[in-house]
């Protein structure tokens, strides 16, 4: 039986905005090096960014009927997150469905399957992160479910978790941790700004990173 569910626990706009200020790399480090999706999932254009609540959907491999249903029921700003069994040999999303997403104000797509029409997707500017680029078509056969926990890119993603993506990759932030992760990310950026200022002031990377004692303990010998 198929179940179409909406996101029952949705982050507030303030929670999404708080997290959106930071890059996925900063967020990943700030939240204890957690939440990074597989680096195999890439944006179709390096300029693409996304941040919003996950609208999760399970699709059978080489089948995009549930993806189309997800687009139909997703809310503006949602990031559609597709779990399709890491099936690379299918182009389950292209420019036609991207236009449908844009018309609804959907915030982006993340899929562990393939997409196609990448030139048009770049022109449209709709953020798409995929496991592959593939021209092979799909069927519309298997009904499953939306907004259940899924594993995509090696990470467990719950409906309403916040997905952040840019040219470097994707990270997931638990909805209930959003403000704390934003606070930690801000602190990390401030620390990094201090490192950069120290380098510009003439300090070495060993001084800035407090590596002298560590290197000595590991027996580093610097020869003239």
- Domain total in the chain: 1
Residue 96, annotated as binding a ligand: yes
Q: Report the CATH number at residue 146.
A: 3.50.30.40
Alpha-carbon distance 162 to 15, whole Å? 9
Pairing of strands 169-173, 50-58: unpaired
Residue 117, annotated as binding a ligand: yes
- Residues 67 and 94: beta-carbon distance below 8 Å: no
pLDDT digits (tens, 9 = 90+) for 202-211: 999 999 999 9
- Residues 89 and 113: beta-carbon distance below 8 Å: no
Alpha-carbon distance 121 to 60, whole Å? 23
Residue 63, annotated as binding a ligand: no
Indicate whether 8 pLDDT > 90.
no
Residue 202, annotated as binding a ligand: no
Pairing of strands 155-157, 128-133: unpaired
Residue 95, annotated as binding a ligand: yes
Report yes or no on 4 lying in a domain: no
- Residues 102 and 94: beta-carbon distance below 8 Å: no
- Residues 143 and 3: beta-carbon distance below 8 Å: no
Please report the pLDDT score of residue 180 as a whole number.
Answer: 98
Report yes or no on 169 lying in a domain: yes
Report yes or no on 212 lying in a domain: no
Residue 94, annotated as binding a ligand: yes
- Residues 46 and 76: beta-carbon distance below 8 Å: no
**What is the extent of the structural domain holding 81?**
13-182
Report yes or no on 217 lying in a domain: no
Report yes or no on 87 lying in a domain: yes
pLDDT digits (tens, 9 = 90+) for 145-177: 999 999 999 999 999 999 999 999 999 999 999
């Amino acid at each position: 039986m198929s179940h179409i569910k909406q996101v029952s626990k949705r982050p507030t706009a303030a929670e999404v905005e708080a997290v959106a200020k930071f890059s996925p790399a900063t967020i990943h480090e700030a939240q204890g090096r957690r939440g990074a999706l597989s680096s195999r999932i890439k944006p179709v254009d390096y300029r693409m960014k996304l941040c919003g609540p996950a609208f999760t959907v399970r699709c059978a491999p080489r089948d995009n009927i549930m993806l189309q249903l997800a687009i139909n029921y997703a809310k503006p700003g949602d990031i559609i997150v597709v779990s399709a069994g890491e099936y690379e040999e299918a182009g389950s999303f292209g420019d036609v469905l991207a236009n449908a997403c844009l018309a609804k104000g959907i915030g982006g797509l993340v899929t562990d399957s393939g997409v196609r029409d990448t030139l048009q997707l770049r022109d449209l500017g709709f953020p798409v992160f995929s496991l592959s680029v593939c021209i092979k078509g799909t069927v519309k056969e298997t009904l499953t479910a939306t907004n259940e926990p899924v594993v995509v890119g090696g990470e467990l993603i719950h409906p309403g978790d916040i997905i952040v993506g840019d040219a470097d990759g994707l990270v997931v932030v638990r909805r209930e941790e959003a403000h704390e992760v934003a606070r930690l990310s801000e602190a990390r950026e401030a620390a990094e700004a201090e490192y950069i200022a120290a380098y510009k002031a003439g300090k070495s990377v060993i001084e800035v990173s407090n590596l002298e004692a560590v290197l000595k303990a590991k027996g580093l010998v610097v020869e003239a």
